[in-house]
Amino acid sequence: MTEQPAPPLTLSHRAHLKAALEMAREAVAAGSSPVGAVLVNEQDEVVARGRNRVGEDQTAEHVGGASVAHAEMDVFFALGKLKNPGKLTLYTSLEPCLMCGGASALLGMGRVVWATDDAWGGSGRLIKWADHPAMQATEVMACPYPDLEAEGARLFAPEARRAFPDEGWELWRKRYPAETQDVEEQDAEEDQG
């Protein structure tokens, strides 16, 4: 693989992260997990949008109903073979898991930016992004906007409570105490009812 320069730093990070969060809301509305992604070229144009489709049927256009139907994979499958991936930026509403982070690295993404850390399922929990040999050519930006980070955490918190084991939920509560409070209160009400 030839070395390509990273995308310019002038991209509209905030607007693209908001677009990824909107895709996450679409995923929830469709019955899937609240994770969204957009892929942006060096001209700051969105070239693909994706969302989690694990809870949906597969179609000719999208992988669905499979454990690999994550938002990032939806973007990658939709585009097929990427041209100049080192000049692309992947924006996600949630820190990519090992599968999606690994795919981003193996495809040679120039940059990965996410709105919200995933205290349990994110790649960075298991291996530091900067320490992974495949990620050396990929710039990684975590949570550049606190308000969007909080929005993403509130959006994903119910899924984290439902899908993660107690240990994972504890990590989420410690990382995002305010954003997980509503879920905790709802759990307490259900326990009393």
User: What is the tens place of the pLDDT at every residue in 133-156?
Assistant: 777 788 888 888 999 999 999 999
Angle, to 10 degrees, between the axis of helix 13-29 and the axis of helix 71-79?
100
pTM above 0.85, yes or no: yes
d(CA 190, CA 193): 5
* Dihedral angle over CA of 35, 16, 132, 116, nearest 10: -50
Residue 35 pLDDT more than 90?
A: yes
- As a whole-number percent, the residues of the chain with pLDDT over 70 amount to 93
Per-residue DSSP letters for 37-53?
Answer: EEEE-TTS-EEEEEE--
- For residue 40, list its beta bridge partners: 46, 89
Residues labelled catalytic? 72
What are 36-93's pLDDT values in tens digits?
999 999 999 999 999 999 989 888 788 888 888 999 999 999 898 998 999 999 999 9
More confident residue, 176 or 121: 176
Average pLDDT, stretch 178-184?
Answer: 92
